[in-house]
Each structure stands twice: as C-alpha cells, then as structure tokens.
Structure 1
C-alpha cells in the first residue's frame, strides 16, 4: 500500500478530512476572508501571524462558535468557550469552579480518563471542602461495560460527571443519562459522531483532537443561567475561572488561532456532509463491520461487552497462552498491519492489545480493508 494511502487508526491526534487539510494549509500560506472556499480575498498574511484581537480572527472565532451550536446541537442558551489545556485541565477546573463545600461531586468511573477526573476532584476536596463520590464503576470487570447508575444520588449532590466514550477500553454511553442533578460530560472522543443527548448536559467539554480538529483546542460549553446562579469560587486564579473567559468572549488570553480555524473547517465539513445524523449512519456502519469481524473470529476478541461497545474506538485482544505468547502474537500482528498500511493499531500502553479508532473522518473503505487483512492474518496463523 502506498504511503499516501496509509489508513490512520490513531486515537488522537487523529485523522481529519482531506478537504480540511487543504483549506488549513491554504490559510497558513495566506488567509482569505472566506477560509472555507477559494473565492475569498487574500489578506496578505498567514493565519499564523495575524492578531487574535483583529477582525480577521474575530470572524473565524465567531463562526466556529456559531457552528458549535448549529452542527453539534449545543443549545443557544449555553456559553461556548474554545480553551487550551485539553480535557485534563477541565478535570481540575470543574471542581475548582463548581464543587460546593459540604456537598457531593458525583462521578461515574468508566476508565482511565474518568479516573483522572475523579483524582483531581479528590485532591481538590482537601482544600475546597467538598466530598467526591464514585456512584457507579466498571473497574472490577476491567472497564468492559458502562455501569448502571443508581436510582438515587447522594443527598446534596453538586453535579454528576460522566465520560461519554472511553478511548482506552472501547466503551460508550448509548445516550447521556437523565440524572437529578446538573450533568457534566467529557465528550472528547465521540462528540459530533452521532446524536446522543448533548442538550442534556449542563456543562460539557471535549478535546478537539478526535472529531473536531487538532490538539491544543478544548471546546467547553455550559448553561449560562445555571452558571450565573452558582456561588463565586473563592481562591481560584482568574485564568482558571470559567467566568473570566466568558467575560472576554472566550478571548481572555491568546487562543490557539490555528486550531480554532481547523475546528471551524471540520464543523463545516460535518455540516456539508449531512450533519451529525449522517455521521451516525456512517460511523455505525464502520463499527458494525469491525465488530462483526471480531465476533466471527477465533483469534481476535473484542474487549467491550455488547450494549456498551464504542463506535469510535474498537478495542480487542489476540488469543494465545500464556501471556508472553499473546504479547508476541499481538506485536507480530501490529507489525504486519503497519507494513500493510494500517497505522496506529497498537493498543494503549496501559492495557496492550489492539485498538482501531474510526472517527468521523475515517473512510469506510479503510475498515473493509482492515477486516480483510485480519481474516487473512488469522488464516495464516
């Protein structure tokens, strides 16, 4: 397979639409007044050298925020911020801003990223005076499913935090849960992939580097009316307050100007290709084909249980015993796959195995080719 046709299964930073690469590259050479098309007038400067306070970038930023509402379905009642620091910064900013002393911050533990969010809440509880409660977890079974939430939350719950999709273990909420408290969601790895109830989230966030753009941009949104009713957090630095960023229209400090443009272009691509509903059909077809290949195999075994399987990150192991043989077989498969033009299939370093990340921009024909390769690899073992 030629290098130009390598299929990129990386979990992130991940594959983006070719059209977006072309338009972004053009903007790096010279920004046009209409970055989406070739008919805009050149401004004589690269995107990388314009001021984030100037009118040219202001138009890009405003368009990106408008598309978050239009394409992703984030309600107009929500403040939209394009920040930095990734989801990892949000793990800390959320309890810093919204964990109320003597009340309970509730978390659902479904994998490594939710565990990191829980850890930050526990750490901050020592100084913020709140309690952190894990109200549901699938840790005991190796995070192979989405656990059921309790019928009743702890008394005096401030919020419930969930991770909608889990890249490492390959599980996903079918829909965001209805809970009797503000719902916070880390939607980093499946936002924009299908409708799954984002409008239910009081606060949501997503690192852009899966379905929305490059690394270095984090989408955050929250209900303005709800936020206005929350007590102002004491002792929190200004840059770590959501209100600080909202008061400056999301431009309190210098943003990732390139990343914001790419996010705008990606959302335009989703819109122009049928929107989130069309992405859902496209992604379901890819996931169904890959899971069918895994379920029909005696060599490959999907990690996640049916009913909790991610449409974005398909995780599997290879047979063989003892463990050292399984590890050698996995390494042989990943090496052979890379030589055949399938990149990024090695599982996360913390769990091993294999993983195929098939985000919005990943082509269906790449999944078909991978399934054929897997069947042939199994035949020759």
Structure 2
C-alpha cells in the first residue's frame, strides 16, 4: 500500500526530531545497528550516532565505496555487493578483530560464524569466484578514479544537480531534509498521484528506467550509484524541466 502524501510529510517531520547524538540505548544491548543509507526513503546517516561502549554495526550495502569511511568507529560493517561493488551474491565484511571469536549463540550454523571464515581466509566454502573477480575490477576502477575521496566528490556533484533542481522546482519536491539526504537515492513527489503516474510513464518512454518510488511510499525515486555517469543525472533533470513546463 502506498503511503498517503500527508502521512509521508508527517513521517518526515518526525524524522527531523530524531536526535542521533542522544539515542536511547538499552543497558543490556549487545550492539547498536544502523542502516547507513536507507534506499526507500532516501535517508543517510551523515552524522554517526554516539553509542558509548556499545558496538556499532552498520549495513552499508547501498553506499559502500561511495565515500571514505572511518572504519574505526564501527565494530562491524557489512555490504551486499549489488549496488556499488559487483554482482548480487557477494557480501563484503569489515569486522574488528576482537569480535572474531568462538563466543557465539549456541546452535549458530558453521557458515554464519565469522571466525570460521577468518581462519580459512574466506575459503571455507567454495567462494563465488566470478562475482569476486568483478568486485576486483570495480576496486581497481575506483582506485583509477582517484579513490574514495574522488568518488565522494563525483557523487556529491551528481546529487547536487538533482537536489538543486528539486529545491528550485515549483512542481517536484524532495522528501528528505537537506542534512539527511542520501547521495545514492533521491526520492521526490509532485504532490498529486495522477501527475506522479504520468511522469513515471513518460519518463520510461524516454528511457529512464525504475523511476517509480518504492511500493510502500509511492512517488518517484532515482538511484544514482557510482556507476551512473553525471550525464545521466543531467539528462533526467532536463527531462524533468521539460515535463514541468508542459504540465503547468
């Protein structure tokens, strides 16, 4: 079911009030989990929450390799490869050495024990060799681009082209406050469901695929991962300007 526009706006207002520097963490919590970049609503942790002595675990599947990360702030980072790294079926894990232990929940399957994989150089089972090979190609591509600092600059430039237009448009509106915007996923709406549907249909006819927003929130969403060239973002904005002019 799609979220109604008024409910979406209320949800956004609620998110504005979240104080990431003062999270309520249970005393008996073993760790704190965050989704570093949330793709459905286009939200990103631009300020990492303070978790005290609690281990911070982050899912970075949708923004891994998009910018530099201070891994020392985390106990564990994991990332599915399918957004910025390589084919689906490969997962990258960065784990603090003191967390690689036999002290796991009784009954934990062998394949879910990090120590088993670490002790066997990630070769305990037959690895997805082709997927890993493609990941290696992507790692070299990122290095040749200038590394993660260069990737961040490129991604900020792409995102700013889109967000700047959304901020100036009288038809299209972004649904995330500036400080929490994702560089990878930018959702937006017109405020009218029928106009959203018309835009999605005409955008597809122009060759813009998967513009439709997630089924739980509706609207539109564009994903501009590392592989999306800046020309693609510029082309989308030009189409949006044209659509806005024709549908005043």
Which of 326, 331, 353 lines up with 2:197 in the alignment? 331
2:143 corresponds to 1:274: no
Is 1:223 aligned to residue 96 of structure 2?
yes
| Residues 340 and 260 (structure 1), Cα distance of their counterparts in 2 relative to 1, 3 Å cut | same
Q: CA deviation at 1:145?
A: 5.2
Q: Alignment partner of 1:239: what SS?
A: helix
The normalised TM-score by structure 1 is: 0.59
Distance, in Å, in 2 between the alignment partners of 1:251 and 1:158 is 28
- Runs of 4+ with deviation above 4 angstroms: 142-146
The Cα shift of 1:153 comes to 3.1
Aligned to 1:174: 46
User: What SS does structure 2 have at the residue aligned with 1:343?
Assistant: coil
Most deviating of 158-167 and 138-147: 138-147
Which has the greater radius of gyration? 1
- The number of equivalent residue pairs is 237
The answer on 1:189 being equivalent to 2:62 is: yes
Unaligned regions of 5+ residues in structure 2, if any? Answer: 1-7
Q: Is the 8 A contact 1:144 1:304 kept in 2?
A: no
Residue 303 (structure 1) shift: 1.0
| Long gaps (5+) in structure 1 | 1-137, 321-325
Cα 1:151/1:341, change in 2 over 3 Å: closer
Note if contact 1:145-1:171 (Cα within 8 Å) is conserved in structure 2: no
| Cα pair 1:165 1:310 within 8 Å, conserved | yes
Contact between 1:302 and 1:317, CA under 8 Å: does it hold in 2?
Answer: yes
State the distance in 2 between where 1:272 and 1:288 align. 23
SS in 2 for 1:342: coil
Compute the RMSD of aligned alpha carbons: 2.1
Q: Is the 8 A contact 1:178 1:200 kept in 2?
A: no
Q: CA deviation at 1:140?
A: 6.9
Q: 2:221 aligns with which of 327, 343, 355?
A: 355
- SS of the equivalent of 2:18 reads coil
| Pairing 1:91-240 to 2, within 5 Å after superposition | 141=11, 147-149=18-20, 150=22, 153-180=25-52, 181-228=54-101, 231-240=103-112
Q: Aligned partners of 1:172 and 1:139: how far apart in 2?
A: 18
How far has the Cα of 1:252 moved from its partner? 1.7
Per-residue deviation, residues 260-316 of structure 1 (Å, max 9, x unmatched): 111111011001110000001100011111011111112111111121010100001
